[in-house]
Amino acid sequence: MAKKTLLLIHTGGTISMAQDQTGAVLPGKQNPLMAQTGNLNDFAHFIVESPFTLPSPHITPDHMLQLKNIIEKHYLAEDIHGIVITHGTDTLEETAYFLDLTLRLSIPVVVTGAMRSSNEIGSDGLYNLISAVRVATCDEAYGKGVLVVLNDEIHTAVNVTKTHASNVSTFQSPQYGPIGIVTKGGVLFHHTPKPDLKYTVTELNRNVAIIKAYAGMDSRLLEVLADLDYDGVIIEALGQGNLPPDTVSGLKNLIDKKIPVVLVSRCFNGIAQDVYGYEGGGRHLKELGVIFSNGLNGQKARIKLIIGLSQSNDPEYIASIFS
């Protein structure tokens, strides 16, 4: 069988770094993965791009849009069968979800990274990259949206999240689990994800903040956000989607100023719902015009709200994309 052609995009992150003599993990003059690409030639032919080499905390939505544009340029100009992106793990899930919402491709798009740098004992970078390449060349990966592959597991961009600060098995999909696994014998899928709507994005110029609810929270942070240059707010609420009563006046102020407020749960599992009818409860907040996110975590709800606001400021439209 003829080898497939993959677009391999390196963006930086721990997978591209090395540990120095002091124990600090830093980018070097050359991405070590560039020298290891030859180890992948048994799996596919590669077109390699390295548009930037950044730690993932330096990644912005503008970088995500740049990646989308690079992918689309190659897809239109060349006969590629899949895409693999190496990325730092801190914001990997956000980049993967952004691409999942904005790319209209049926070919596999796989994002991977590493928790240990290239010269640490037990480095997982090259192994994860090989696993990602194997998934990207797998016929069964077509039409499944953007996938995240690390530690022998295949996750969807919408469900996966980083759950541990340093463990190599950090990426998990709470409630749902992975949709497949990578084994020595092959790539096995046991679930098919439900596709999400796709959005056309040419520029990103909206600012969205995330704040986390806590016991005794009042409206002061919300009042400040209303006076700053923010176009939307994500709140990681308590439980099923509840807030302390002293936040209500701040929420009303934001909504009166046409600044959408989207609610997620700060809980690791479960979704925010309009259940409780007391002041600050989910039912009360829904009646005020707060939008419930239907299961996204805070960072992904933020990405979706940024994209949504690039389409329209209409409150009904913004509510509809989270329904």
Q: What is the pLDDT of residues 63-81, one digit of tens each?
A: 999 999 999 999 999 999 9
Amino acid at 185: G
CATH 3.40.50.1170 residue ranges of the chain are: 5-189
Give residue 32's pLDDT: 67
Q: What is residue 53's three-state secondary structure?
A: coil
Residues carrying CATH 3.40.50.40, the chain:
208-321
- 8 Å CB contact between 27 and 52: no
**Local confidence band at 28 (pLDDT 50, 70, 90 cut-offs):** low
Q: Tell me, what's the pLDDT at 291?
A: 97
CATH classification number, 5-189, choose in 3.40.50.720, 3.60.15.10, 3.40.50.1170, 3.50.50.60: 3.40.50.1170
- Taking alpha carbons only, the member of 118, 117, 149, 145 closest to residue 133 is 149
The rounded distance, in Å, linking the Cα atoms of 154 and 173 is 10
Distances (CA, A) of 291 to 94, 177, 195, 266: 20, 26, 22, 15
Q: What is the mean pLDDT of the chain?
A: 93
**Contact between residue 201 and residue 231 where contact means Cβ atoms under 8 Å apart:** no
Is the pLDDT reported for residue 20 higher than 80?
Answer: no
Give the active site residues.
14
When pLDDT is averaged across residues 93-99 and rounded to a whole number, the result is 98
CATH architecture of 208-321: 3-Layer(aba) Sandwich (3.40)
Q: Closest Cα to residue 266, out of 234, 308, 231, 226?
A: 234
pLDDT for position 36: 65
User: Using 50, 70 and 90 to split pLDDT, how confident is the model at 276?
Assistant: very high
CA distance 198 to 73: 18
